[in-house]
Structure 1
Amino acid sequence: MLKKIVLLLLLFLATSLTLHAQKATVQGVILDEDNQPVPGATINCGEDYTISDINGFYKLEVPALKEITIIIDHVSFKPTKFTVTLSNAENFVVNPKLSTDVTSIGEVQVTANKRKVLTGIQTVSVDVIKNIPSASGGVETLVKSLMGTTSNNELSSQYSVRGGNYDENLVYVNEIEVYRPFLIRSGQQEGLSFINSDLIQNLDFSAGGFQAKYGDKLSSVLDITYKVPTEFEASVNASFMGAAASVGTSSKNKKLSTISGIRYRNNSMFINSKQTETNYDPLFADFQTYITYKASNKFILNFLGNFSMNQYNYQPLSRQTNFGTIDDPVALLIYYEGQEEDEYLTTFGAFKANYLVNEDLTLKLIGSTYHATEQEYYDILGQYRLGEVNTSIGDDNLGDVEFSEGIGSQLNHARNNLDALFFNLEHKGTYTKNKHQLDWGVKYTHEDIRDRLVEWEVIDSAGFSIRPYFEIDNDQPYNAYEGPLVPYQNVRATNFTNIDRFSGYGQWSYKTTTSSKAKLFFNAGVRAHNWTVSGEDIETTTQTVVSPRAQIAFKPNWKKDMVFRLSGGVYHQPPIYRELRDSSGIVNPDVKAQKSIHAVLGNEYSFLLWNRPFKLKSEAYYKHLTDVNTYTLENVRIRYSADNNAVAYAYGLDLQLNGEFVPGTESWISFGYLKTEENIDNRGYIARPTDQRVKFGMLFQDYVPNIPSLKMYLNLTYNTGVPGGSPSYADPYIYQTRLKSYKRADVGFSYVLAGEDKTFDEGHWLHPFKEFTLGFEIFNIFENLNSITNTWVRDVYTKSQYGIPNYMTGRVFNLKVNMKF
């Protein structure tokens, strides 16, 4: 009945087609011919206007989704004007220069975004982030719905891009590279991602073929820009899963701006919806701040700081998983003893200095430090029964296990510690002249990692200790083994590792217009990376790689608004510490950089449908990979072979249609086809762990026609299964199976009590709020049972193994409130 009600609600909301007022913001600094600020200038847009302050700064709210003309006037200068067409909630920055001669900036229809289209960058509206129903609570949920990305774990912020793994994705915040934990091993242990959604101004994403100025990874770039407030702002968000608050300030002279946020999150609701009963006491909290100081019109200093604490106290109690068929139902019952205590503490600080030498030359200096201390401690004993289920309807014992076909126990132990300290110093520069742009950068990184790894597992079945899988004469539990008792798996290692890196890039960009008024964009660049691995009992090893890259984009002068783009090059990924450590915990300093020759052919077609803007994006790609460092995937924990003993390939097609399916709201549908295989030691090609053949994602926004304050956000995901159902020790060439398809639907409803189009007079209790929204979310509406791995147990009677799915979260309800001041 509940499913029918939800479907009726979705159908009812999806019929709305009423347009309401949309707004955008234009802001910037007005300068004179000597690049000095111009105070007292009037900025007009129809009946709306503002006046630039003592620093020449202005901010004006304008209508969105239509062409508007903005006129700037000052008694000492000639008037100037420019024309723009902005999307809903867009924040467009333009810094006009006034002179004594008549000046017209001309038509700048979202110039910045047009340039990103030419370079293959996807830009996403920030407003969508705070409203999308998200189990992980981060901006990554939005990224997973874009073309080229997949994920099959709603509790993880990690994502795979076009056949790559989680370690192949770059993340930048205001041009500063950020890091993720090293030891993180399961979805339930992932709390907060680094990125604070409340602080974001812009979000750009590239799924491949990116420029040389971005770092040394194989798959993708997520480029985040944090806000620089120009006035006081504050927000508070709270729900059953946590809370967050942010504050933005700006000094009277607009020279000092700060924005800070604090977050708390608790995943207990999701963990308790799984089939394992637990005592789960997590604590995910962080504080983040971004400070901007404008010392002069030419010099700006920024600071980005973050402190994050993730603690987990996890005590599993029992689990029952039913599987099999209707004719032959089977159940797995597990009773647990013991607990897991994990803690991840990270501290990050970065200074960035921007110096505007002149209007053509900008120099930047970035220094950052990252420190992480991580521990994973657990002792968990699981005792299981595998048996036949009572299916007699009306029986008092219906659903109980009445006959045991297999019994056994499993004891897991770990005492893992890691201490990592990173230091970065980087210089970047940009020079622009006559439609040519030169970008360059050099960077030094020192990584100091101290790691202790102690893990073992003992398995007992029917009174027999199961020998390790690599034992030749191992016929247990069918025949007793009279040798000494040894763990089924045993990993012990202590590593003190230092990595010193020198990297740099240089690239040239050029944009021109042909005689036929077609637009051409060229970009060519090269990266170089040198790294040295050293440490206790490690032979010092130095390696160097060079990565040339190029892009070309063509926008013909057609009635149809189309852009064609070809990009690619040679991409190297010098190994991080995790890639140097093999499955036994030993560091191999000779691991080479994985290499990918990458080509992307793309097209973007912008058009009007129902007199509303739409865009169809398509990209076909091919990757040829060599020196591949193969790995196994356990939830989100990656274990590498630390041996470049494979070659691989990946190819596919990604499509995304986005636009106003409902007037005034942006929605999109993405589809992807992928095939990726690897050849290990010349044994032939088999599917890689991320070979997710088909992906479908949809983010749909709607509102009730007669009640525009009542809105709906629907997030749908369908991914075909990945090769993840085999035992971790199995030879993939002999035994390879896939998990079932990943299907999930999350929906959120919100009611706007106060907002841009719903304000109240002074004295009303809602007057202080710029925005006040109440929300209700349903995660996993149809309660699909998605599995991420299998638990393998033995049936001693039939001498066979069963793969029992480890299911993810069930249906969860959540209430939330969002406030802005």
Structure 2
Amino acid sequence: MKALPHFFFTLLCFGVAPVLFAQTATLKGIAFNQNNIPLSDVNVSYADGGRLTDESGFYSIEIPAERIITIRFTHVGLKVVEAKFFLKKNELLEFNPVLSTRIQQISEVIISSENQDRIEGIVSLNPETVRKIPGANPGVENLLQSLPGVSSNNELSTQYAVRGGNYDENLVYINDIEVYRPFLIRSGQQEGLSIVNPDLVRDIGFSAGGFQAKYGDKLSSVLDITYRRPVDFAASADISLLGVNLSAEGLSKNKKLTALFGTRYWDNSLLVNAKPTETNYKPRFTDIQTYLTYTFNSKFELDFLGNIGVNRYSYQPQTRQTNFGTLADPIALVVVYDGQEEDKYETYFGAFSGTYKPNDHLKLKLIASSYHTQEQEYYDINAKYALGTPSTNIGDTSVGEVDFTRAIGSQFTHARNNLDALIVNLQHKGQYQKGSDQLDWGLKYARESIRDRLQEYEIIDSAGFSIRPSLERFTNQQPYEPFEAPLKPFSSRRAQNDVVINRVSGYFQFSKRLNWNTTKAWYNLGIRSHLWTVSGQDIASKTQQVVSPRGQFSLKPTWKNTNMVFRLAAGMYHQPPFYRELRDMQGQVIPDVKAQQSIHLVAGNDWSFKLWERPFSLTSEAYYKSLSNVNAYTLENVRIRYRAKNDAEAYAYGLDLRLSGEFVPGTESWISLGLLKTEENIQNRGYISRPTDQRFKLGFLFQDYVPTIPDVKLYLNMVYQTGLPGGSPNYANPYVYQTRLPFYFRADVGFAYTIINSKRALKSKSIFKELSAGLEIFNIFDRNNSITNTFVRDAATQQQYAVPNYLTPRVFNVKFSAKF
């Protein structure tokens, strides 16, 4: 298998790779007595080693990874606590045992983050991998996009589509709290930071469909994030040409209060300034997050999760030249701009969560959260454009430059859009577990108050003649025939909405583990209900309700030398409309928009095996989704505009495959393949491709190392995806004219050198626990990926040109990382 690393070294012309870590994992925690007082001198041991807890009850022990290890916690005068663990390589798990004088706790259950995920169809991702894999917008979403069934054709965006759904169909939770994103963002380069801070993450779970009733009402996927709870003081810093990430964590002297803090500053002008448009670009994306936990006693604890995000986007385009056409007939679009865009997105999020455990079987939780966003989108940009022929003389210093252009028109765009939204949630969640049975239930109230002003228009002129929308009622033959109707903008939208949405939702589900001789099984049956009322100024109140039954079944046969899990999931999924789904193409709120409905059928298999004496896993899922009451939409960059008519039906089916494992010893890599077809039928006119019809997707995440220099690492993230149906004008009738963008191919590579690792830090007593420096190359093959087309018209030649809007070219970034 050594040929595989050599292939990539040759391909990339670099001979570097990641450090070969020992096959170990780390177990940390605090040992308590039955009165929740930390215990010193507790012996924490397993077959090959052990250590004692310190004066604060804290311990940290390295154990072998990828196999079952039995850990014993012993103390004079107290009963033994014994538990079995199965951890992945380099995984960090917190386990806080309670040693009692009355009850001996001997667990026959193997503690592993992987066991439950396998039977539920959840993909678990390693947070350390998230922090190391390069990307133009690094983070959890960057890693998700390498999974099958997940697609994003815009590296500047953190949004992703799953199995034919759009960006609004994905649930995101942090510590059981649903989080939101801004409403008005229309371009990936405006987004800034995801609300998920990867430096604070402990666990990442992702389901691409067929998820349980305990999760909310969306059609496509669930991203379940858990922030870690500190067991000691630590800090980290990441500094690069794109920004700065800082984090710190610690706990009080009595161990009752723990605090996790992170702040980020992001400036992607390095990426945007590399695009064909020359701009005066000043992005300022900043956020601050904190996660606090106070443990009153062994039964009750209180958590707080807070986030403040301030994204300011200042954009003054100056000139642009885009070369397109063919080698035989090259064409260049040259644009001179005047004006600017000033956008601002401020979000404030806070949530309190109280957890009460009256006994070992029952857990009760109460969550109160508030999300406030204030958004502004102001721009006045005048663009004068011309067409010309670029020089194709190879070797000439002026190759690619345009010697002569002819003016063909201009465009003026204007917007004064403001939005203020306040979302308040109050939620109760409960869980009762005894033996092999588990009950989960929940009840949630939400109030969404949105004030929105939409005011935007576009005027297009070509050779002195005002261009009107290409619709039949606007047909004209200028300049050959006079057109006497009043002049109107090419497009115009004006609306002012004051909307309140009240929601009540709840769920109940039952899970059970079964043993049939030597075969193990698990099933989950649940049901959700959601009732909502839309009201507001000049809006007739409308109340609707939906019910969603769901179920899962998993089977693990005991086959010799074969470790397989088979899964089936089926259910009905509803998506009651959020505010943006209530707005039609002109921005008017339609209160009687129905919930979109989808029936999921998912069949999966998880096969764990050894290859070259190393662990591997092949995960496969076939799925089918039948959708009704579909709210059809258009997609431009990351802006979604809905028809708000529920006048369509759709379907999606496909196959997801992922082979993961140690292609190189001591590292995790994977290859993923996704096949998808999704179509919609609008007003019974026939089936056509949906805007997210991503037919083929190939993802590759690879980690390697140089055996002779193990402190040199390589990380490669590569994606190939077929083009989306997004190359048509936004006013075009898709049943008459629908085209696809070219395929999307991107490879990001990162090289890192570990200057100080944990072993060296211990020997040298350095303030750094880890210190590394690296180089990242985004879009290493310099592929010209396009996100949309700009359509320009030449009155002289009676032609219309589709000019691609390219994403980022090859860009270099330098990065330094430190842990304290």
Partner of 1:724: 726
CA distance 1:774–1:34, change in 2 (3 Å): closer
State how far apart, in whole Å, the 2-side matches of 1:392 and 1:349 are. Answer: 60
- 1:319-338 to 2 correspondence within 5 Å? 319-338=320-339
Q: One-letter code of the match for 1:254? A: K
Selected match of 2:631 from 629, 632, 637: 629
CA distance 1:569–1:396, change in 2 (3 Å): closer
Partner of 2:608: 606
- Kindly state the Cα deviation for residue 93 of structure 1 after the two structures are TM-superposed: 4.2
CA distance 1:759–1:383, change in 2 (3 Å): same
Structure 1 contact 373–418 (Cα < 8 Å) conserved:
yes
TM-score by length of 2: 0.95
Question: What percentage of residue pairs aligned between the two structures are identical?
Answer: 57
Q: One-letter code of the match for 1:771? A: E
Selected match of 1:673 from 672, 675, 693: 675
State how far apart, in whole Å, the 2-side matches of 1:441 and 1:109 are. Answer: 28
Structure 2 contact 18–713 (Cα < 8 Å) conserved:
no
- Kindly state the Cα deviation for residue 72 of structure 1 after the two structures are TM-superposed: 2.1
Partner of 1:284: 285
- Kindly state the Cα deviation for residue 74 of structure 1 after the two structures are TM-superposed: 1.8
SS at match of 2:723: coil
CA distance 1:106–1:419, change in 2 (3 Å): closer
- Kindly state the Cα deviation for residue 259 of structure 1 after the two structures are TM-superposed: 0.5
Structure 2 contact 719–746 (Cα < 8 Å) conserved:
yes
Partner of 1:68: 69
CA distance 1:564–1:412, change in 2 (3 Å): same
Structure 2 contact 31–96 (Cα < 8 Å) conserved:
yes
Q: One-letter code of the match for 2:298? A: N
SS at match of 2:88: coil
Partner of 1:696: 698
- Kindly state the Cα deviation for residue 643 of structure 1 after the two structures are TM-superposed: 0.7
- Kindly state the Cα deviation for residue 52 of structure 1 after the two structures are TM-superposed: 4.4
- Kindly state the Cα deviation for residue 8 of structure 1 after the two structures are TM-superposed: 3.2
State how far apart, in whole Å, the 2-side matches of 1:317 and 1:539 are. Answer: 46
- Kindly state the Cα deviation for residue 58 of structure 1 after the two structures are TM-superposed: 4.3
Asked whether 1:773 is paired with 2:772, we answer yes
- Kindly state the Cα deviation for residue 24 of structure 1 after the two structures are TM-superposed: 1.5
Structure 1 contact 382–409 (Cα < 8 Å) conserved:
yes
- Kindly state the Cα deviation for residue 112 of structure 1 after the two structures are TM-superposed: 3.6
Partner of 1:446: 447
Partner of 1:92: 93
Partner of 1:815: 814
The one-character-per-residue Cα deviations of 1:647-683 (angstroms, maximum 9, x if unpaired) are 0000000000110111110111110000000000000
- 1:352-367 to 2 correspondence within 5 Å? 352-367=353-368
State how far apart, in whole Å, the 1-side matches of 2:544 and 2:625 are. Answer: 23
- Kindly state the Cα deviation for residue 315 of structure 1 after the two structures are TM-superposed: 0.5
Q: Which moved more, 1:63-72 or 1:678-687?
A: 63-72
Q: One-letter code of the match for 2:813? A: N
Partner of 1:197: 198
State how far apart, in whole Å, the 2-side matches of 1:461 and 1:17 are. Answer: 56
Partner of 1:519: 520
Selected match of 1:641 from 640, 643, 650: 643
State how far apart, in whole Å, the 2-side matches of 1:166 and 1:222 are. Answer: 13
Q: One-letter code of the match for 2:145? A: K
SS at match of 1:758: helix
Q: Which moved more, 1:44-53 or 1:160-169?
A: 44-53
State how far apart, in whole Å, the 2-side matches of 1:20 and 1:703 are. Answer: 10
CA distance 1:339–1:580, change in 2 (3 Å): same
Structure 1 contact 340–379 (Cα < 8 Å) conserved:
yes
Partner of 2:139: 138
- Kindly state the Cα deviation for residue 126 of structure 1 after the two structures are TM-superposed: 1.1
CA distance 1:228–1:393, change in 2 (3 Å): closer
Asked whether 1:783 is paired with 2:785, we answer no
- 1:236-385 to 2 correspondence within 5 Å? 236-385=237-386
State how far apart, in whole Å, the 1-side matches of 2:86 and 2:530 are. Answer: 42
- Kindly state the Cα deviation for residue 634 of structure 1 after the two structures are TM-superposed: 1.0
- 1:18-29 to 2 correspondence within 5 Å? 19-28=20-29
State how far apart, in whole Å, the 2-side matches of 1:547 and 1:31 are. Answer: 42
SS at match of 2:119: helix
State how far apart, in whole Å, the 1-side matches of 2:7 and 2:507 are. Answer: 56
- Kindly state the Cα deviation for residue 29 of structure 1 after the two structures are TM-superposed: 5.5
TM-score by length of 1: 0.95
State how far apart, in whole Å, the 2-side matches of 1:114 and 1:378 are. Answer: 52
Partner of 2:466: 465
Partner of 2:550: 549
- Kindly state the Cα deviation for residue 92 of structure 1 after the two structures are TM-superposed: 3.0
CA distance 1:397–1:9, change in 2 (3 Å): closer
CA distance 1:625–1:188, change in 2 (3 Å): same
Structure 1 contact 302–353 (Cα < 8 Å) conserved:
yes
**Can you give the 5+ residue segments of structure 1 that lack an aligned partner in the other structure?**
none
Partner of 2:209: 208
Structure 1 contact 163–676 (Cα < 8 Å) conserved:
yes
- Kindly state the Cα deviation for residue 30 of structure 1 after the two structures are TM-superposed: 4.9
Partner of 2:435: 434
Structure 2 contact 699–720 (Cα < 8 Å) conserved:
yes
Selected match of 1:510 from 505, 509, 512: 512
CA distance 1:418–1:476, change in 2 (3 Å): farther
- 1:794-813 to 2 correspondence within 5 Å? 794-813=793-812
Structure 1 contact 629–640 (Cα < 8 Å) conserved:
yes
CA distance 1:34–1:564, change in 2 (3 Å): farther
The one-character-per-residue Cα deviations of 1:725-761 (angstroms, maximum 9, x if unpaired) are 0000000000000000000010000000112343353
Partner of 2:3: none
**Can you give the 5+ residue segments of structure 2 that lack an aligned partner in the other structure?**
1-5
The one-character-per-residue Cα deviations of 1:365-393 (angstroms, maximum 9, x if unpaired) are 00000000000000001111123334456
Structure 1 contact 406–797 (Cα < 8 Å) conserved:
no
SS at match of 2:754: strand
Partner of 1:657: 659
State how far apart, in whole Å, the 2-side matches of 1:273 and 1:531 are. Answer: 46
SS at match of 1:105: strand
Aligned length: 813
State how far apart, in whole Å, the 1-side matches of 2:643 and 2:296 are. Answer: 50
- Kindly state the Cα deviation for residue 31 of structure 1 after the two structures are TM-superposed: 6.2
State how far apart, in whole Å, the 1-side matches of 2:725 and 2:413 are. Answer: 24
Q: Which moved more, 1:112-121 or 1:495-504?
A: 112-121
Q: One-letter code of the match for 1:778? A: I
**Aligned-pair RMSD on alpha carbons?**
2.2
Partner of 1:683: 685
Partner of 2:151: 150
